[in-house]
Amino acid sequence: MDGQSINSEEIGQIYADLAKDVSVREERLREELPIETTAEIHTHLHSTVDDWETGRKSLRTAPVCTAYAHELDRPIEESLKKLLAGLDANVNVLDDVIDTRDLSPQLRIGLTVNAAFSAVLLAEHCPSDARDEIRDLLRDYFTALFQIPLVEQRLFASMAAATDEAQRHEAATQIYAYRSRDIDAFTDIAAVVTELNTETKQRLRRDLRTYRARRLLFKDIRDVERDLRDDDTTPVIHLLQHHDTTELVFDAVTDLYHRFSYSEAGSEQYGQILRELETAPDDLHSLLGEAKDHLDAAETS
C-alpha cells in the first residue's frame, strides 16, 4: 500500500474508537443502574470490526476512499471516512437481518446496537451544506439496495432454467452487476463531499462497481463450503453444478471475471490498488477444485 491508500485497519479503527467511547459512557452509567453490571454493548460494536478484519463482512469505505485519494492526489478528509464507515456498518447490519433466518436474542441485540450507533456516526459526520443532497442519495441507494433479494431470486431462476452456457453466464453477470451497486452510495457521497465533476464521478462509480463485482465473485468462491452448509445459492455454486471438471469451472469463472473491467483512466489512476483489494486467490484453480469437492460431498451426503 502506498501513502495515499486507506487500508481496512484504518477504517476499522474508526469503529473501534466508537466502541471505546461507548464503553466509557456505559461505565459512567454503571452507578445509575439498579444492577451490578452493564450490557457491555461496546462488545457488539467490536464484533463489526472483527467481521471486517476476517472478511466475513464487506468493507466498502477503504476501496472508495483509496480510489478517490488517488484520483484527487490528496488525502481524504477524516470526516468523510467516518461518514462512510457508519454507512458500511449500517449496510452490513441490514444484510445480516435479511440473510439470517433465525435471529437469536443475542444476535438481535448485536444488530440493533450496530444499527443505532452506525446511524449516529452517519449523522455526526454528514456535512450540513450537503445534507439534502446526501439524503436524496441515500434514499435512492436504499431503494435500489432492497431490490437485490428479488433480483437474485429471479436471476437464479434464469440460471437454473438456462439451456446453454451463454444464458447461464449472462444471468451470473447480471447478478454480480446488480449486487455491485451496494457500493454506489459510498462513491456518490464521496463525490459530493470532494466536489468531483460529473464525468469523473461516473467513471469512478463504474470502476468501483467493477471492483465490487470482482471481489464478490472471489468471496463467493471462498464461501462455497459455508454456503452449501447454509443452503445458500450463489452463481459460483450454479457454475460448479453445471460443469463436470475443475478446468471447465475455471474457464467459466475466468470468463465471468473478465466481463467486468476498469476504464483506461481508472486503470492508470487507481487500477492496480483496486486489483490488489479484490483479494484474488493465490491459486484460483486449486480453490475451485476444493469448492467442487465440497459440492460433490454435499450432493452425495
pLDDT of 3 reads 58
d(CA 274, CA 67): 8
In the chain the first and final C-alpha atoms are separated, in Å, by: 44
Mean pLDDT of 126-137: 96
Q: Does residue 301 register a pLDDT over 80?
A: no
Mean pLDDT of 2-31: 90
d(CA 299, CA 265): 45
d(CA 193, CA 215): 26
**107 backbone dihedrals φ, ψ, rounded to 5°:** -70, -40
Closest CA to 174 of 147, 201, 200: 147
Per-residue model confidence as pLDDT tens digits over 38-49? 888 999 999 999
pLDDT of 230 reads 87
Per-residue model confidence as pLDDT tens digits over 89-103? 999 999 888 877 778
Q: Does residue 30 register a pLDDT over 90?
A: no
How confident is residue 279, by pLDDT bands cut at 50, 70 and 90? very high
pLDDT of 36 reads 83
Grouping H, G, I as helix, E, B as strand and the rest as coil, residue 196 is coil
Nine cell digits for residue 272:
492496480
Mean pLDDT of 24-47: 89
Of all residues in the chain, the percent with pLDDT exceeding 70 is: 99
How confident is residue 197, by pLDDT bands cut at 50, 70 and 90? very high
pLDDT of 201 reads 96
Closest CA to 189 of 150, 147, 142, 240: 142
Query: Taking the model in full, what pTM does it have?
Result: 0.93
Indicate the residue type of 237. I
How confident is residue 2, by pLDDT bands cut at 50, 70 and 90? low
How confident is residue 152, by pLDDT bands cut at 50, 70 and 90? very high
How confident is residue 218, by pLDDT bands cut at 50, 70 and 90? very high
Mean pLDDT of 242-252: 94
How confident is residue 21, by pLDDT bands cut at 50, 70 and 90? very high
Indicate the residue type of 277. L
Q: What is the mean pLDDT of the chain?
A: 93
d(CA 176, CA 80): 27
Residue of 100 and 187 predicted with greater confidence: 187
Residue of 19 and 35 predicted with greater confidence: 19
Specify the residue for cell string 433465525. 102
Q: Among the listed ranges 23-37, 50-64, 145-159, 167-181, which one has the minimum average pLDDT value? A: 23-37
Q: Are 127 and 141 in contact (CB under 8 A)?
A: no
Mean pLDDT of 133-147: 96
Mean pLDDT of 263-273: 96
> How far, rounded to the nearest angstrom, does the alpha carbon of residue 59 sit from its chain's CA centroid?
5
